[in-house]
Amino acid sequence: MKKTIGIILAAGRGTRMGENKMLMRICGYTPIELCMRAMEESCVDEIIITVTDDTARHVHDLPCTKPVKTVLGGETRGESVYNALCAAQDADIAVIHDGARCLVTPDIINRSVEEAKKYGSAVASLPVSDTVRNFENITLDRDSLRIMHTPQAFQYELIRDAYEKDGMHTNTDDCGVFIQADGNPHYFESDFMNQKLTRPSDIAFFESCIHRRLGQMRVGIGEDTHRLVEGRKLILGGVEIDYRMGLLGHSDADVLCHAISDAVLGACALGDIGKHFPDTDPAYKGANSVLLLHRVMTLCRENGFCIVNVDATVTAQEPKLAPHIEKMRENLSGALGVDVSCVSVKATTPEHTGPEGNLECITVRAVATVQKIS
């Protein structure tokens, strides 16, 4: 069956931003992630993302319920689009979207697809409401002008053939390529919010738009205890710590990862790790709990949540954990897909009281806050 293919362009250099804007975080989300989420929730069947080496790694880590393919971008926007079109198989409609327009909604994408099915093409655009004057001081007739946005959707063969004819690849949008190949584009009204992240001064606008779409903040709590025994490794937050005893458990018994996993699952009301990774399942014998935490995070993202922050306290009489805290935070932030500044790990000694104080066990208590974007 013919498919609707969504193409996200994320291979640009972002020279006006001074850094790779596709990897910047706006309220915790990268532009690529926001576009991918909009595509995921739209009627698009498959997603192709044009990437650089840097963005490829990030895309690879993003969970998505729809098939996602990456294609290396070219020297110009046009070359990147052409590479993506060549990688689209059995496509009926191609929806091309600039990754920097990361406030796009599933609704705009769906409208572009519906109208392209009807008219052969559908280009998101806006009328001009400002006075426009050129450098010769001539005021242009704004009623004769339109601002081009993306998504721009086309019947697949029409746009692929247009790009094949366009050897130069210098057009700054797909509609330009389509017109050059004698296409007669159909325009539909975009949304004012569907702006392009271009300059550092744009960030405040993007943050405030995303804040409006963020749902209620939710908190989860997690607690776990494992017994200290001889002949086992001591692994906390993915760090192997040199100590005469280790933690007993079916997996690697990383009690810190387990407590954080439960806090994240709790915040999303998705059960607990015992439910998702039962200790009766041989698949999890000796399992690396950092990888389990990564899988918990995938589940959390599949349900539309992102992590705001995580805080954990390890209660252990011995050994000294302070030298290992930074490495733990790094491992945990990697698994959670958030900046290290959003992950806190603290250690406390119980003053020789209780089972932790008697070296019988180590306990971790953790909280996680999550938010859902609508």
CB of 361 to Mg ion, least distance (A): 11
Q: Least distance from C-beta 258 to Mg ion, angstroms?
A: 4
Q: How far is the CB of 280 from Mg ion (least distance, A)?
A: 14
274/354 with CB nearer Mg ion: 274
Closer of 306 and 332 to Mg ion (Cβ): 332
Residues 170-177: contacts with CB under 8 Å, at least 24 apart: 170/76, 170/78, 171/77, 171/78, 172/77, 173/148, 174/81, 174/96, 174/123, 174/150, 175/121, 175/123, 175/148, 177/78, 177/81
Taking the complex as a whole, how short is the minimal distance between the CB of residue 226 and Mg ion, in angstroms?
6
**Are 257 and 269 within 8 A, CB to CB?**
no
Residue at shortest CB range from Mg ion: 258
DSSP helix/strand/coil, 334? helix
Closer to Mg ion by Cβ: residue 174 or 224: 224
Helices (H), the chain: 31-40, 53-61, 77-87, 106-119, 156-165, 174-180, 203-213, 255-267, 273-276, 289-302, 325-336, 354-357
CB of 279 to Mg ion, least distance (A): 8
The two three-digit tokens of residue 87, written as one number: 């990688």
Give the Cα separation of 117 and 120 in Å (integer): 6
CA atoms of 172 and 150, how far apart (whole Å)? 11
Radius of gyration of the chain (CA): 25
CB of residue 363 vs Mg ion: minimum separation in angstroms?
10
In terms of CB distance, is 235 or 307 closer to Mg ion? 235
Nearer to Mg ion, 67 or 271 (CB): 271
CB nearer to Mg ion: give 37 or 258: 258
Per DSSP, the three-state class of 330 is helix
Residue 235 CA to residue 288 CA, distance in Å, equals: 10
Residue 36 Cβ vs Mg ion, minimum distance, rounded to whole Å = 32
Nearest to Mg ion of 195, 289 (CB atom): 289
Cβ within 8 Å of residue 153, ≥6 positions away: 93, 94, 95, 96, 112, 113, 115, 116, 121, 122, 123
Tell me, what amino acid is at 125?
S
* H helix count then E strand count, the chain: 12, 16
Give CA–CA dist 193/158, Å, rounded.
Answer: 29
Binding site for Mg ion (CB under 5 A): 224, 258
Which of 260, 347 has the CB closer to Mg ion? 260
Residue with tokens 């806050």: 369
CB nearer to Mg ion: pick between 336 and 373:
336
Rounded to a whole number of angstroms, the minimum distance from the CB of residue 66 to Mg ion is 33
Output the smallest distance, CB 278 to Mg ion, in A: 12
Structure tokens at 34: 């926001």
